[in-house]
Amino acid sequence: MALFEAHRLHKRFGRRVVLEDISLAFADGRISGIMGPNGAGKTTCFNVLTGRYAPDRGRVVLDGRDIAGKKPHEIARLGVSRSFQMMNLFDEYTARENVAMALPAMRGRGFQMARAAAGIGEIRDAADAALERVGLAGRGDAIAKALSYGERRALEIGVALAAAPRILFLDEPTSGLGTEATARLAELIRRLKGSLAMVLIEHDMRFLFELADEVSVIHWGQVIARGTPDELRRNPWVQRSNLGKLA
């Protein structure tokens, strides 16, 4: 059984059906990709999987445990972490404070009221280590909103990783990044591979096909194709939609 599975998810907003009978499985230590045209329901899918919306029907199973309908913070505490398409940071906090917020050690201390957060060396060290991992060593004291676009993207992933997740969902991590930053991100993901499950929504097919072990194509709220990058390159829909050429 895979680490994370979605069984027959349905989600509608008003009359609009956004997800229709979607089933997905993500194995531990592997990289999975999700692709599809804009408005196909990819981000909604992430939102249902990570608890922002409850599915109307279907199950979401993490390690044999049904987590559908649980609150985002409960799902996060079970080891599910995510980044957002629109950047989502604590803008007034420093980079270090941003990653510190996600550390399990900080979460456990959330209701400590009598001790200075800045004085807890354990958290400071863990936060610096998390920053170093995404190439932000030495930027810990910079305010998040003053960072460059690429640095903010990296910080976003740093926050998601600082939670020590078992599965990491990344929503279009390369969007807006230049070639060099994209290459660095690919390297980071490759380095992380094996230590946790990763799921990527991505428009950059070259990036996705290079990294992913398996890719699912979502269209009209359904999974219309699934396979290894090689299999998908031969898939008629992927070819017809011009996405295949890029890969």
Residues that bind another protein (CB under 8 A): 50, 52, 71-74, 76-77, 81-82, 84, 88-93, 97, 100-102, 104, 106-107, 109-120, 128, 137-138, 141, 159, 163
What amino acid is encoded at 192 in this protein? Answer: L
Closest separation in Å from C-beta 197 to another protein: 17
Q: How far is the CB of 31 from another protein (least distance, A)?
A: 21
Q: Which ranges of the chain does DSSP label H, i.e. alpha helix?
A: 42-49, 72-77, 95-102, 104-108, 121-133, 149-162, 179-192, 205-211, 229-233, 236-240, 243-246
The helix or strand, by DSSP H or E, that contains position 6, with its residue range, turns out to be strand 4-13
Residue 91 CB, nearest approach to another protein (Å): 6
Q: Tokens representing 147?
A: 């960072």
Pick the closer one to another protein by CB: 88 or 222.
Answer: 88
For another protein, the closer CB: 66 or 91: 91
**Nearer Cβ to another protein (164/225):** 164
Residue whose CB is less far from another protein, 80 or 247: 80
Q: How far is the CB of 126 from another protein (least distance, A)?
A: 13
Alpha helices, H only, 15-148: 42-49, 72-77, 95-102, 104-108, 121-133
**Chain-centre distance for alpha carbon 82:** 4
* Contact assessment for residue 87 and residue 174, using Cβ atoms and an 8 Å cutoff: no
